[in-house]
Structure 1
Amino acid sequence: MSLPLSLSLYRAATTALEPFAPLLLERRAKAGKEDRARLNERLGRPTTPRPAGPLVWLHGASVGESLSILPLVERLRTERPDVGVLVTSGTVTSAALLGRRLPTGAIHQFLPVDTPGGARRFLDHWRPDLAVFVESELWPNLLLTAKDRGVRLALVSAKLSDKSYRAWQARPFAAGRLFGGFDLILAQDGRAADRLTSLGGTVAGEADLKFGSAPLPVDAAALASLRVRLGDRPLLLAASTHPGEDELILAAWRALPDRPRLVIAPRHVERGPAIAEAARATGAGVALRSAAPDDPAEVIVADTLGELGLWCRLANLTLVAGSLVPGIGGHNP
């Protein structure tokens, strides 16, 4: 079956740009946005052997999506140990988190960039029987190549932002080809179901994996120790902040008559030093968690991975950021 014009142009463009992918990835690695030791995975050259037998591939774009599929991965490993489980993600932070929390036997790899060659190499190696995509990250070359090879496709916790929905509406034939290719679609809510249906998808029901997630893990010893060190002063947690939000939060915090201790946990931990500098500029005492984990400063920048469960349990009030500046869209609590 021939591709719609927009998908044909996309495939041609990604084919032409594929030789430049290593250079782009190297530049991203220098900026801390890629794991240099694992760049081959991003080019569709896996670094781990495929396990024998059937294989389920699950993809979550970043930390939130990756966390949401962990219960599903754990259940698969428990109930179907004969089935291999491959989990892909696209960010350094999600890779670090999955490296610590995936159950024994589950494999993590970075998703390859969406070029025809990368998609072919990835699928040649892993040969999944089922591919499960979470929320809304759709890569045409990977999806179309997988579909052509007979891989069963599922889209779960599916949603579309206003911007994405308008973009797909402008390309109805491409939307119909991609969304119509899924064997199963479970939408996050009724609004998402209506949008996906209008674009050519067949929605079987509603389900949001994030509601099935277990509470964030915590180190009990670290929790007890921090409770003692921090004392009785109330604690305000600003979680998953983005650039531009930290300054707003600091200004609002400074205006409080009886200031609580403030913990800022950025969405991307590499921003920690910059946030600490912004906090110091207000005259506050500041501690960077990665450099001074025992410092009970009045402003703590939580630039470590895997400790959000710790701060959530210590906080008297939590602000889930992502909606204080335009263009982000907010985060699920």
Structure 2
Amino acid sequence: MRADFTERALRGLYSAALYVLVPATVYHLIWRGFRQPAYLQRWGERYGVYRTPPTNPLLWVHAVSVGEVNAAAPLVDALLARHPHERLLVTTITPTGSARVQALWGKRVEHVYLPYDLPGAVSRFLRHFRPRIGLVLETELWPNLLFGCRDHGVPALIVNGRLSERSLQGYGLLKPLLGRALRSLRGIVAQSQTDAERFLRLGASPRTTVVGGNLKFDIAADPQVQIFAREFRAAEGSRPAWIAASTHPGEEAAVLALHRRLRARWTDLLLLWAPRHPERFRPVAHAAAQAGFRTATRQMTHQPDAADDVFVVDTLGELARFYACADVAFVGGSLDDIGGHNLLEPAAAGTAMVTGPYLRNFADIAAQLEAAGALRIGADEAAVGDALEALLADAEARATMANAAQQLLEGGRGALQRTLGFVDGMAPAATAG
């Protein structure tokens, strides 16, 4: 009885705070909309309001944005294959995640934005779609959503679970509430033992917290990637190229400085530049041009010509292709204190890679890649430049790194089958096809 009272009190305080902040969510959507117009659309979904009638029960996967959607791809593909007559809903929070869902599956899946974690919005979402099972990717720990699944009888699991030390510490006052929410789940399938231990420290149940591996290892190779890369490099000839991928605003000046440094040695060096967020496409193209580099963009032209110094990849869903076009990759979110981005994508493309030091969101993978000799980590901008320069000058070292990465990828596969086994084992009634 006391535990129930404590839970209700904590949820009440948390929900009251969220309701007070509702005007801020509207402001946030408008503010983001000035930079990315898609944020001005489909507001009803953000608050659990739908114009269509309630649906029949379905399978549900939640992946917050592009990176999580890509990680979920093997799982969603497997669910579509195993349950061809079931409807499958994939939710995201960001428009870029929404666009990636549409690009990968089109009308094969249903898609809406996940509502804000308001009790009423969550209840409307769950009543409308009536999921038979909910699979929540990585670190989407929303208390009302998790409790709502329990209260509406939806077996819910966190899959590909990831929890950094900073995130764990950042939960602070929410820790007692999140601990109860995690224990309401059918289970947590963590990426690594370290992630599992952090979930346990947050309050998850040892009985239902298991290690399944990282689904990103199971992303199937796309043969079109290498075909595209061969055609791209044939058109570019022998000029070297490097890619700055998933960069953030705080790293943009460093990218330009690094390119200027590297071009002092390789005068025809091409920079392929893929900012993390679409609202940065135009600003980085402008910054490159202002810095004196002849700049083209993917939307302007299919491919840079011989006189272009910088080519901005201002499209979504093509990063893997352009990784394969580069001799060396710098993976962003790592010089600025963001926490890093997916390192397995350039590894799968066969491209040697360099990062900065901030890799807390991918610490386990980064450690494995570095230990295998497949990743070089620079302590600062100068060290990143040293690593890029050394690799551009050494084709044999690049090939050795690429081979080491491929071996690590092969050894890491199997998370998909383990995850599917946990899903079946923890919620057999929900997944019987």
After superposition, where does 1:218-257 map in structure 2 within 5 Å?
Answer: 218=224, 223=229, 225-256=231-262, 257=265
Question: Any idea what SS the aligned residue of 2:244 has?
Answer: strand
Structure 2 match to 1:81: 84
Give me the whole-angstrom Cα distance separating, in 1, the residues matched to 2:38 and 2:97: 11
Query: Once the 2 structures are TM-superposed, how far is the Cα of residue 35 of structure 1 from its aligned partner?
Result: 3.7
Query: Once the 2 structures are TM-superposed, how far is the Cα of residue 106 of structure 1 from its aligned partner?
Result: 1.1
Give me the whole-angstrom Cα distance separating, in 2, the residues matched to 1:48 and 1:97: 23
1:62 corresponds to 2:94: no
2:282 maps to a residue whose letter is P
* Contact kept in structure 2, 1:236 and 1:263, CA below 8 Å: yes
Structure 2 match to 1:288: 297
2:60 maps to a residue whose letter is W
TM-score of the pair, normalised by structure 1: 0.91
1:204 corresponds to 2:210: yes
* Contact kept in structure 1, 2:30 and 2:39, CA below 8 Å: no
TM-score of the pair, normalised by structure 2: 0.71
Which residue among 162, 182, 186 is the counterpart of 1:159? 162
Query: Once the 2 structures are TM-superposed, how far is the Cα of residue 11 of structure 1 from its aligned partner?
Result: 0.6
1:330 maps to a residue whose letter is G
Q: 1:196 to 1:151 in 2, by over 3 A?
A: same
Query: Bigger CA drift: 1-10 or 230-239?
Result: 1-10
Question: Any idea what SS the aligned residue of 1:9 has?
Answer: helix
Give me the whole-angstrom Cα distance separating, in 1, the residues matched to 2:118 and 2:223: 36
Q: 1:235 to 1:60 in 2, by over 3 A?
A: same
Query: Once the 2 structures are TM-superposed, how far is the Cα of residue 136 of structure 1 from its aligned partner?
Result: 0.6
Query: Once the 2 structures are TM-superposed, how far is the Cα of residue 89 of structure 1 from its aligned partner?
Result: 0.7
Which residue among 309, 317, 326 is the counterpart of 1:315? 326
Structure 1: give runs of 5+ residues left out of the alignment. Answer: none
Which residue among 244, 256, 272 is the counterpart of 1:263? 272
Q: 1:19 to 1:244 in 2, by over 3 A?
A: closer
Structure 1 match to 2:397: none
Query: Once the 2 structures are TM-superposed, how far is the Cα of residue 100 of structure 1 from its aligned partner?
Result: 1.2
Structure 2 match to 1:37: 41
Q: 1:311 to 1:49 in 2, by over 3 A?
A: farther
1:131 maps to a residue whose letter is G
Give me the whole-angstrom Cα distance separating, in 2, the residues matched to 1:48 and 1:58: 20
Query: What is the RMSD computed on CA atoms of the aligned residues?
Result: 2.3
Matched positions, count: 331
Q: 1:254 to 1:30 in 2, by over 3 A?
A: closer
2:266 maps to a residue whose letter is D
* Contact kept in structure 2, 1:44 and 1:112, CA below 8 Å: yes
Q: 1:103 to 1:79 in 2, by over 3 A?
A: farther
Query: Bigger CA drift: 256-265 or 299-308?
Result: 256-265
* Contact kept in structure 2, 1:237 and 1:315, CA below 8 Å: yes
Query: Once the 2 structures are TM-superposed, how far is the Cα of residue 75 of structure 1 from its aligned partner?
Result: 1.3
The structure in which a higher percent of residues are helix is: 2
Question: Any idea what SS the aligned residue of 2:324 has?
Answer: helix
Structure 2: give runs of 5+ residues left out of the alignment. Answer: 344-433
Instruction: Calculate percent identity across the aligned residue pairs.
Output: 37
Question: Any idea what SS the aligned residue of 2:171 has?
Answer: helix
Which residue among 23, 26, 29 is the counterpart of 1:25? 29
* Contact kept in structure 2, 1:70 and 1:102, CA below 8 Å: no
1:11 maps to a residue whose letter is S
Q: 1:75 to 1:206 in 2, by over 3 A?
A: closer
Which residue among 108, 115, 118 is the counterpart of 1:115? 118
Query: Once the 2 structures are TM-superposed, how far is the Cα of residue 36 of structure 1 from its aligned partner?
Result: 2.9
Structure 1 match to 2:283: 274
1:149 corresponds to 2:152: yes
